[in-house]
């Protein structure tokens, strides 16, 4: 059975994974948007920023796990 901290880390993992999937869906839509004449610069910038934030969150999550000694 997971501890409360372990359960929280598992929720973080699921949320990060879900967000990464959503970002990939947005990335896949960019060519379609561009083909229809929509500007995609801002969307691409936002996706890049989200990707960087997710990377930072994943790093923090692993650091927390290391501090707690949770699997």
pLDDT of residue 71: 53
pTM above 0.75, yes or no: yes
Residue 40 has pLDDT above 80, yes or no: yes
Residue 2: what pLDDT? 61
Sign, CA torsion 56/59/65/68: negative
Residue extents of the structural domains in the chain: 7-68
**CA proximity to 50, closest of 71, 70, 69, 25:** 25
Q: Which residue has the higher pLDDT, 56 or 7?
A: 56
For 15-25, the pLDDT digits (tens) are 999 999 999 99
């Amino acid at each position: 059975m997971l501890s409360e901290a372990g359960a929280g880390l598992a929720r973080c993992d699921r949320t990060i994974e879900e967000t990464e999937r959503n970002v990939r869906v947005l990335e896949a839509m960019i060519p379609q948007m561009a083909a229809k004449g929509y500007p995609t610069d801002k969307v691409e910038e936002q996706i890049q920023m989200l990707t960087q934030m997710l990377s930072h969150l994943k790093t923090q999550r692993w650091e927390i796990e290391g501090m707690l000694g949770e699997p």
